[in-house]
Amino acid sequence: MKFLWAFLGSTALLFGALIAAITVVNPLQEFSGKRFPARSLNTRQMKGDLFDSVSARNGPTGVIIGSSRSMNLPPSIFSQVTGERFFNFGVFNAAIDDDLAVARYILATRHDIRDFVIGIDPQSFDPNMNPPIELAHNVRLSTARSGHLGSLWHDAIIKVETYRDALTVSYLADVLKSARNYAHPPEPVYSFDSVAVLQYPKADGDRKAGRYSFKEHFDNCAALQSTEYKNYDSLGVAKRAMLDSLISEATARGVHVVLWTPPFNPALTAILQKDSTAYANYQRSLAYINSLARPPMVTTVPNAVTASLPNQDGWYDCMHFDWSNAPTVAHALAEAVRDSHTQAGATTP
């Protein structure tokens, strides 16, 4: 009996030490620890915290939603064109699940929102694509998506599930790597400026020094995209339903929605065109997004508009345009926002 109690006591101490280490080191920015460098940026947590902070002062009336391909769009350009205050709530690897979660969180916490600008990656309609684990672990967005925002019970469930999922060998490896990087922090790949616009410090530094291998980044990106577009032959019913819900819930509140598809590097489009399945999926997604237009409340920006970029060399890879092209994309989208309000005003009796 003493052995059993000793074993249980030792196990409890070990488990407690493990939970403490995970919490303090916090390699994926899912817990409370802030001292150690993150293994990867938890953009859902970062953007949510910043949005809450901004909202507590003079919050935005327009929000940019989408993936990393929307994250370098400057809110200042939207403000200049529309006269509205904009916030960029783009997150890494966003799925339509993220778009719905972010929109619901904003609608629940801000009552003066006028505009959503939503960048939708066509592959997001893949019916086999699961919600990002980072979204599932985010109390703020996960509860908003499920309609349980503010429920302490659901908050607790998500926290318990996050700790449960952290008890893996790979997660513990991240804890050790993060602790090691505390003494020798690596050069950051990504960063954000004061208004949460995505920056690429390492890539920009490498490009300036002439050591950035664009071909390597393009080839890796193109291989991944080609594979993703071959994996399905229909648009996911659940994915379409989520986007439909987002639009109906936003417009019911009088929020104007601008839908757009972030452009590909033209060389990637040429690659997709050579594969009938991949290109059919790509075209099917674009057609569906365009079919959702219901002016003036729902506007779709043609892909050709945002694909006409001034700097054909202004790409980090096959799908991420750089700071030399971002203002052009932002300006085209901001004009769509402005025009939707102008059209709405013209049709109001």
Q: Which residue has the higher pLDDT, 205 or 196?
A: 205
Confidence of residue 1 (pLDDT cuts 50, 70, 90): low
Q: What is the pLDDT of residues 30-72, one digit of tens each?
A: 998 888 888 888 999 999 999 999 988 888 999 999 999 999 9
Q: Say if residue 348's pLDDT is above 60.
A: no
User: HSE on the CB side for 292, CA within 13 Å?
Assistant: 29
pLDDT at 10: 64
Domain definitions of the chain by residue range: 41-132+185-347
Task: For residue 299, give both structure tokens.
Answer: 């506007």
Q: Which CATH class is domain 41-132+185-347?
A: alpha beta
Confidence of residue 214 (pLDDT cuts 50, 70, 90): very high
pLDDT at 332: 95
Q: Which of these, 249, 220, 311, 208, lies nearest to 113 by C-alpha position? A: 249
Q: What is the pLDDT of residues 110-147, one digit of tens each?
A: 999 999 999 999 889 999 888 899 999 999 999 999 99
User: Cα–Cα distance between 87 and 303 in angstroms, integer?
Assistant: 23
Average pLDDT over residues 191-206: 89
Percent above pLDDT 70 for the chain: 95
Average pLDDT over residues 86-109: 96
Element (H, E) at 94: none
Average pLDDT over residues 160-169: 90
Average pLDDT over residues 193-215: 92
pLDDT at 336: 97
Q: Say if residue 7's pLDDT is above 60.
A: no
| DSSP letter string, 149-187 | TT-HHHHHHHHHHHHHHH-SHHHHHHHHHHHHHHHSPPP
